[in-house]
Structure 1
Amino acid sequence: MSRPERIESKSTGVLSALGSKYSAEILCAAGTPKSAQALSEDIEIPIATCYRRIEELVDAGLLTCEGRQLSEEGRRTNIYRRTVDELEVDFSDERPQFSQKRRTEAKNRLQDQLED
């Protein structure tokens, strides 16, 4: 099992991203690679809101663009997956401190195989 990694410098961005409505739902749904359209449909939120939350989560380092694939309509679309499985916030110091359990490539590959 991997050790949690400390996040020191991104505390404001992480808290801001997590504080936005639907962000936690997007992270939960993005355990496997999904397009913004698929995330929007899964969570039942407007696509414009989904794109805004995705941008915030990517900027905070909690979500990553894994590449592009063709949509059902034949358009190239970005595919996103969360970068963490667990995030802990410690408020006992002057500033919030974060510990995170990052997703490994091995876990991503295994989960991708299970989904096929």
Structure 2
Amino acid sequence: MPSNSPNPSATEEPVSTTVWVFSDRIPGPGSPYWPIAEAKQHPNLVCTTQSDAAGHYQIQLPPSEYTVLAQYDESLYLNSFQGDGSYRSITVAPEQIIEFDLTHIEQAFF
């Protein structure tokens, strides 16, 4: 579920946004933000979908590895990386349903 969570005392607020899905692992640019102009050109772009007002989205995908990012303004966002510097990916197995929440924590306090 795409949401905003600016500080630890705030509750997450679901948002309606575009969710982008790419096949395989996508190398991160060294930032949680990826400009849409660049993402549109990426050969691994599978699809986009819109989350509803409650932040829910559903995508039917064949078994494989995917990278899922949320759109915020003119960038895609995912503040979760794997050890090799790529964005965190998920693996979809046959007949599997996965819940994958996307949380925007740019202004979070740690």
TM-score of the superposed pair, with normalisation by structure 1 = 0.34
TM-score of the superposed pair, with normalisation by structure 2 = 0.35
Tell which structure's C-alpha radius of gyration is larger.
1
Structure scoring higher RCO (CA < 8 A, sep ≥ 6) equals: 2
Richer in strand (by share): 2
